Amino acid sequence: MAAAPSAAAAGTFRLGDMTVNRMGYGAMRITGQGIWGEPKDPEGARRVLRRAVELGVNLIDTADSYGPDVSERIIGETLHPYAQGLLIATKGGLTRSGPGGWHSNCHPDHLKKAIEGSLRRLRVERIDLYQLHTVDPKVPMEDSIGALARLREQGKIRHVGVSNFNVEQLREARKIVPIVSVQNRYNLADRASEDVLNECEKEGIGFLPWYPLAASSLASDTSPLIQAAKRHGVTPGQLALAWLLHRSPAMLPIPGTSSVQHLEENIAAASVKLSPEEVRELGR
């Protein structure tokens, strides 16, 4: 009988004073279609969360805008009281108008209310990692980050992260409060945040790539991705995740799914070993 996949196979990374396995789970998909409303299969969503923890995932990423409120609430209902060492990261700064509708609101007053809601739904007194979900063009970034810095001083946030930031914005934010993570879009097909990843690696900041799979756009029969996947006996998606883990020691993939089977496939990617030549070939 084959051993169960383990997130620990990805190795670890230190986020502030917390150590996590580098293969995490993104809880966006345990909501309804369009990341809106309740999931079609609520018990299935709970099974995915419980199985993720069983497989060694100790970094689960969510946001108050997923549902909205739904993902956080299901996590709190399913996993609280949390296992020792389990880091639940959440985000604030986006509001919703309907399926597919996302709007920035990083005003300090909104963030204060958002954090209170997240604390309540997640059933905690302090959020281990709270991430500003975006840069709001209507609000000076230093005001938004300053609000999180004050909430950190009040003990409601343990560590601060940012999302959808460029290098200059990251550097400005770090002048206001320590930043332990950046969550930007990054995958084999889209590496527009390469400079942000390099900055994170240099400064010891965790990089959480959102939309990490994007393998379908590279999955022609003759592509290096397909050829490498065949050599390793894995799916193109697993190979794409393995490449991310090999790309940088600061990389913390958080692939999301509403399926236990797909979750186990994703976690198994942590055990795929690529040679330096394969990493370079796929990168090209």
Task: Give residue 189's pLDDT.
Answer: 87
How many Cβ atoms sit within 10 Å of the Cβ of residue 54? 13
Q: Mean pLDDT over residues 209-227, rounded?
A: 73
The token pair that represents 231 in the structure block: 């050599």
Q: What integer best gives the mean pLDDT of the chain? A: 95
In this predicted structure, the answer to whether residue 214 has a pLDDT above a threshold of 80 is: no
Please say whether the structural domain 13-211 has been given the CATH code 3.20.20.100. yes
What is the Cα–Cα distance from 155 to 175, expressed in whole angstroms? Answer: 20
Alpha helices in the chain, H assignment, sequence order? 42-54, 70-79, 108-122, 141-153, 167-174, 194-203, 224-232, 236-247, 260-268, 276-283
- In DSSP terms, 103 is beta-bridged to 95
For CA atoms 211, 65, 141, 181, give the dihedral sign. negative
**Domain positions in the chain:** 13-211
- Is residue 147 classed exposed, middle or buried when 0-12, 13-18 and 19+ CB atoms within 10 A define those classes? buried
- 158 three-state secondary structure: strand
Is the model's pLDDT at 215 over the cut of 60? Answer: no
Q: What's the pLDDT at 181?
A: 98
The number of beta carbons lying within 10 Å of the beta carbon of residue 138 is: 8
State residue 62's pLDDT score: 98
The residue count for the chain:
284
Calculate the alpha carbon distances from 134 to 91, 111, 115, 141 in Å: 9, 12, 15, 9
Place of tokens 């400079």: 195
Predicted confidence at residue 130, as pLDDT, reads: 98
Identify which of 31, 11, 29 has the alpha carbon closest to the alpha carbon of residue 21. 11
What's the pLDDT tens digit per position in 35-52? 999 999 999 999 999 999
Q: Which residue has the higher pLDDT, 1 or 168?
A: 168
Which of the residues are catalytic?
A: 66
